[in-house]
Structure 1
Amino acid sequence: MPKLNYRNVEANGLRMRIADHGEGPLVLLCHGFPESSYAWRHQLAALAEAGYRAVAPDLRGFGGTSVPADTEAYALQHLVADMVAITDALGAKNAVIVGNDWGATLAWHAALLRPDRFSAVAAIGVPIMGQPPVPPTQIFPQTEDALFYTLYFQDEGVAEKEFEADIRRTLLKIYYAASGEAGPRIEGDGTPNPFGMISRKGGLLSSLPMPERDLTWLSGGDLAVFVSDYAQSGFRGGLNLYRNLDRNWALQAAFAGLKVQMPALFMVGFRDSGLSMPGMRQMIEAQKTLVPQLHEPIFLDACGHWAPQEQSARVSENLLRFLAEVAPQER
């Protein structure tokens, strides 16, 4: 089980725990939900060995980082400010920013809003998307019996109560169901998608299977680290990201039509649960209009939503190939 070099920095009024590895051009690695900086354990080692300073923070509200009490403190522009402040705290003029899941959304916004501080961007799992005509919560589906998971997360305390009742069970069920190990996504068949429609009565976890053994990409020791991180922070910070979807939409109106004008990389697993969402492949194809310097998207065979963990070597190789172009080390 990898041991990370954790330390705390003061950034944007928060105490932020970061895993800080290596020396060289700075690469910020932003995790998703429900993860923490430990999700980047393999890339931290690979990038440091290749001559980069790889830094993975626990985002605000996660793990060892401060947990602001105000729900609105989790709007994306605050998270972008955190990444700028970390870059400052580390004494760097700029950085390459990388993200998976919510971290990908953060990375896209950081690249869009602060091209003076972020020189290139790599996103995994979540493509950059244009501004929808109405607030996101008005688009997500719901029926009398079920609602889309992002709507299930809106009521404060509901998902927290379900998830925190047994943290290990929660994480293992979600990690497995959204991974490539759960099998291909087949409409109406196979493992239920944790990021799909949720029973109003049963909650998110009741329909998800509990794996009978350790996952091939997640040892018992690895899982214990994530359990410890969520025992420390709880789930509220991560869930508050979803509670700011409409606020993010409103704030982003000022930047509608703005393009990401820097080199960019996008990766996604063929078995990513997000690919089963209607229109997702079309959104991936449409990214080039929003990111003119986007490389050809990379699809990872037999890989689910947790690509940096599930296929760590391939993700690291693709990142290093990209970094060699956009952030070459000084010789």
Structure 2
Amino acid sequence: MTAKNQTPEATGQVADAYAGNWVDRLAPAATRPYLRLSRADRPIGTWLLLLPCWWGLTLAMLSDGQAGWHDLWIFIGCGLGAFLMRGAGCTWNDITDRHIDGSVARTASRPIPSGQVTVRGALIWMAVQALIAFGILLTFNTAAIVLGILSLLPVAVYPFAKRFTWWPQVFLGLAFNWGALLAWTAHTGRLETPAVILYLAGIAWTLFYDTIYAHQDAEDDALIGVKSTARLFGDNSPRWLRWFLVATVSLMALAVILAVPDARMTALLVALCGPWVMGWHMQGQMRRLRLDDTARLLHLFRSNRDAGLLPVPFFAVACLL
């Protein structure tokens, strides 16, 4: 069998990874199973973890009108930390889900159920990623370090949520949007109301995009008894998704209003364009939604990188006004 004609199972590729991703093309063969375990071949999760960090940082800079070289490090450090902690979190998720993943078509090719990585090897790899991320966290202020340590609780709980609640996406939202709290605090030295409201906006956004994502596995999940909002909402999902869209935009707009001083009306108006254009993108996803088209569901889920990125330049430009 030639490499060109090999199946994903034969090459070790994961079924829902990007075709021609850098891991499959460029990474040394010995590292590929571990990078796949960290989802390095599927960068969308890193973006979804990172973007709330950038929301929190830019909105904090807008709130107090201050920016310095340390903010550039927070910006970069959040990027590195998101890559590492997303990798550690996915490794933990795959360790806990190794028996379930083998029963689901989309996940059976993952490194642990396919036998590419042992559980012991995965635990060591998870610890390495988490320790490097902790080293980055230690460069932030004390309040941000405490928040970073507390973030491990929702990360640890999330993989088990689908076993006891129909709303595991809430637990994913609690974990994935923690960066909004952490980055705000890394800039200001304290946690404040606008950051909490921004965090809630992120959770609503996670409910939106991960319900779309979960519809890919709804049939397999029903067979093995795994719960999700996709199964809970069923054909009523579009109505729920619209409510999550409204909640995302409204809460983010409220966070902006609370963060920006009244005297800076021009900055406020520019910053408010951020949640508006994000909501416009999400509404575009709704127009293209087809619950029975798994390829389209995956495409729409991935497009949330662009949706979540849209507020960042508006917040950044508003900082200059």
Task: Mark yes or no: TM-score above 0.5.
Answer: no
Q: Which has the higher strand share?
A: 1
Length-normalised TM-score, structure 2: 0.24
Length-normalised TM-score, structure 1: 0.23
> Highest CA radius of gyration, 1 or 2?
2
